[in-house]
Amino acid sequence: FDLCTTSLAPELEVLAPARVWKMTREEEIAYADARGVPVPVGRRSPYSTDENLWGRSVECGVLEDAAIEPPEEAYGWTRAPERAPDTPAYLTIGFDQGLPISIDGQATDLPALVPMLNRLAGDHGVGRIDHIESRVVGIKSREVYECPAALTLIQAHQALEALVLPRDLLDFKRSVEQRYAQLIYDGLWFTPLREALDAFVASTQTRVTGEVVLKLYKGSSRVVGRRSTYALYQHELATYAEGDRFRSEMAEGFIYVWGLPARTWAALEERVSGAPVPLPPQAPPPARVRTAV
């Protein structure tokens, strides 16, 4: 918050009494009680929670012991997986140029879609995260999150990207995603780097259009289907059945060229050390099958 304020209105002074007064959690609760300030915590449930459309975070209390499983009372958006329905739920999420636009064929805008997914996925125990974070100042902290919609949307979106984006672009974008996430975590939203990354990401999404089917069951979410007009997956090239258009005989030349660096290294090692590079034992030659590259 401070960094955003500094970027947009550097003349403003940020007042943060809770930070300046250095009150303990118990003292903060007592201060609020004494002045009739309603807060969603108490001495029996002293968790610090923050929530918005995208997720809910929980800290403090017994969660500060990283070895203890978070008690069920700490959660508010998700059902315990063991108490989730015994029947799985299937969701079809539609995307248009990277943006989610529908659930099960029902068109809806993003502000309505996210709460809907939070409820649907949360009911099946999907969306819980319990991990150790490394904060900007170097402190390690135990964080518990609930973000059913975020996890399912990211999972579905990545599955659709894998279907329509070339491998090199997909690999590079994954590294950009990590940098983008770290940039936001560090509070550097209003920066030239974020704007430049936005431009790159937008250019990758022009063909991320299609549908992804998710299976929700007792805390797990799995992609079980995907389709797109722009799919780079072609059945005729991928099939092992009759009608295969992949010319497997061409693989031999490709393997020879691709393996040239390894063979060059092995020859050098043998010449320098005077001993052949040990090779793994060879299995019997397999039956004639289609070679996948």
Enter the tokens of residue 192.
């030239």
Is 251 part of a structural domain of the chain?
no
Is 15 part of a structural domain of the chain?
yes
Domain with 17 in it? 1-46
Is 160 part of a structural domain of the chain?
no
List all residues 6 or more positions away from 220 whose beta carbon is below 8 Å from its beta carbon. 81, 126
Distance CA 4, CA 152 (A): 28
Distance CA 258, CA 92 (A): 40
Three-state SS across 235-262?
HHHHCCCCCCCCCHHHHHHHHHHHCHHH
Distance CA 122, CA 85 (A): 11
Q: Considering its fold, how many domains does the chain have in total?
A: 1
Do the Cβ atoms of 36 and 71 come closer than 8 Å?
A: no
Is 107 part of a structural domain of the chain?
no
Whole-model pTM: value is: 0.82
The secondary structure of residue 131, as a DSSP letter, is E
Distance CA 287, CA 293 (A): 17
pLDDT in tens, the chain (293 residues): 788 888 888 899 888 887 888 888 778 888 888 988 887 766 666 788 889 999 999 988 899 999 999 999 999 999 999 999 999 999 999 999 999 999 999 999 999 999 999 999 999 999 999 999 998 888 999 999 999 999 999 999 999 999 999 999 999 999 999 999 999 999 999 999 999 999 999 999 999 999 999 999 999 999 999 999 999 988 766 666 666 676 777 778 888 888 989 888 888 888 888 777 666 666 555 555 555 54
Distance CA 119, CA 82 (A): 17
Is 189 part of a structural domain of the chain?
no
Distance CA 55, CA 78 (A): 11
Do the Cβ atoms of 236 and 109 come closer than 8 Å?
A: no
